[in-house]
Amino acid sequence: MSLRLGDIAPDFEANTTQGPIKFHDWLGDSWGLLFSHPADFTPVCTTELGKTALLKGEFEKKGVKVIAVSVDDLESHNRWIPDINEVNNVEMNFPIIADEGRKVAELYDMIHPNASEKATVRSVFIIGPDKKIKLMLVYPASTGRNFTEILRVIDSLQLTANHSVATPADWQDGDDVIVVPAISTEDAKVKFTKGIRIVKPYLRYTPQPNK
């Protein structure tokens, strides 16, 4: 199944390390981060899950629920968690989906046969409260993800969902943002009371509206 931005994130039922879930019900009105791992007891995955556990409070501040998935079973996940805790000096605080039947992996197109016929690639899906997919990232199995960057992207997605702005290259929360082209300069001067800075007729900056 090929998913695209703006598609409804496929719903599913699954067992997790924190009990059974129905995905859309579990998300509720929250944003969601669903990310996959090639396999349990692998070195890069161990560091990634630990980093996410350390950052869970940051995700919660942004109203984001975090959940991981790999194609191993629940017993394997539960045997792996003590390693994650020990290596990263954390306590696992979010669920890992048991997907031994590859149901979730196939719904979200996480198996790329030319990379591996069995293991999932490192997929990232950010899902909005409307259950639509807002962002997709795919990393190879050998490259660990930058979860600080994922938090930055969430800041951008949430900002641009609520204001008529876009974020420029290397934007960080608090930086100036770009007025979207659909708004005329005249209207922008009225809408953005903190002022606008015109670099080009199509490139206009304004201070971040929600700061």
DSSP-derived secondary structure letter, 8: B
pLDDT in tens, 124-156: 999 999 999 999 998 888 899 999 999 999 999
Q: Which pTM value belongs to this model?
A: 0.91
Measured CA to CA in angstroms, residue 181 lies from 135, 155, 198 at distances of 21, 21, 12
Q: What confidence tier does 39 reach under pLDDT thresholds 50, 70, 90? A: confident
Q: Find tokens 């191993």 and name the residue.
A: 72
Classify burial at 104, counting beta carbons within 10 Å of its beta carbon; exposed 0-12, middle 13-18, buried 19 or more: buried
Kindly state the average pLDDT of the residues 60-88: 96
Q: Is the pLDDT of residue 11 over 60?
A: yes
User: Of 44, 22, 53, nearest to 122 (Cα)?
Assistant: 44
Distance CA 73, CA 71 (A): 7
Distance CA 75, CA 71 (A): 12
Structural domains present in the chain? 13-145 (3.40.30.10), 163-206 (3.30.1020.10)
Q: What confidence tier does 187 reach under pLDDT thresholds 50, 70, 90? A: very high
| Residues annotated as catalytic (active site), given as ranges | 45
